[in-house]
């Protein structure tokens, strides 16, 4: 009986590479000349430091772009509130891994509402989907990808 797992994982090495590339990009940009701006990678979070709120937003966009180039879904980013101390601004960004219980319930409910001939079960931080046909599992993949949930999903352990 075909089965697959729906998981939410990110490659932390690719995130680290994206942070390094973002630092290089910021150092070469004209609008950041003479500005103390940096990305700091402290596993599994990134801290952005700069001199203004506007530059903080620009740096978040730069990081999103670099993550996209490295095939890391920017939906996995969680931005905390920016904090200002004097002239310096900082913001911490964490990355979601694993499917939370309420999001997993939404995924199962979405699959059942579509009335596909599959069974979905929550197993820890992943959702196991089983069905009689491979086509049903592929339709489930398409359904979950197209759903606007606040998390990125990957499909692993596909067995025929």
Residue ending a domain, choose from 95, 130, 145: 95
Structure tokens belonging to residue 119: 């069974």
Tell whether pTM > 0.85. no
Which stretches of 8-149 are assigned E, i.e. beta strand?
38-42, 45-50, 77-79, 83-85, 88-95, 118-123, 126-131
Same domain, 22 and 86: yes
Model pLDDT, residue 28: 87
Residue ending a domain, choose from 80, 95, 110: 95
Query: pLDDT class for 153, splitting at 50, 70, 90?
Result: confident
Residue 63 neighbours by CB distance under 10 Å: 24
5-30: average pLDDT: 88
Helix (H, G, I), strand (E, B) or coil at 43: coil
């Amino acid at each position: 009986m075909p089965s697959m797992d729906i998981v939410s994982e990110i490659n932390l090495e690719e995130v680290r590479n994206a942070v390094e590339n973002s630092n290089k990009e910021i150092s070469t940009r004209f609008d950041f000349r003479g500005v103390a701006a940096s990305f700091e990678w402290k596993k599994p979070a990134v801290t952005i430091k700069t001199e203004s709120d506007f530059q903080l937003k620009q740096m978040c966009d730069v990081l999103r772009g670099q993550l996209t180039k490295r095939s890391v879904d920017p939906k996995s980013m969680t931005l905390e509130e920016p904090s200002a101390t004097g002239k310096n601004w900082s913001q911490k960004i964490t990355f979601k891994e694993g499917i939370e219980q309420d999001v997993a319930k939404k995924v199962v409910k979405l699959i059942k509402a579509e009335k596909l001939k599959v069974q979905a079960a929550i197993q820890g931080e992943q959702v196991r989907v089983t069905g009689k046909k491979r086509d049903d599992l592929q339709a489930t993949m398409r359904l979950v990808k197209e759903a606007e949930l606040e998390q990125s999903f990957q499909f692993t352990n596909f067995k025929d």
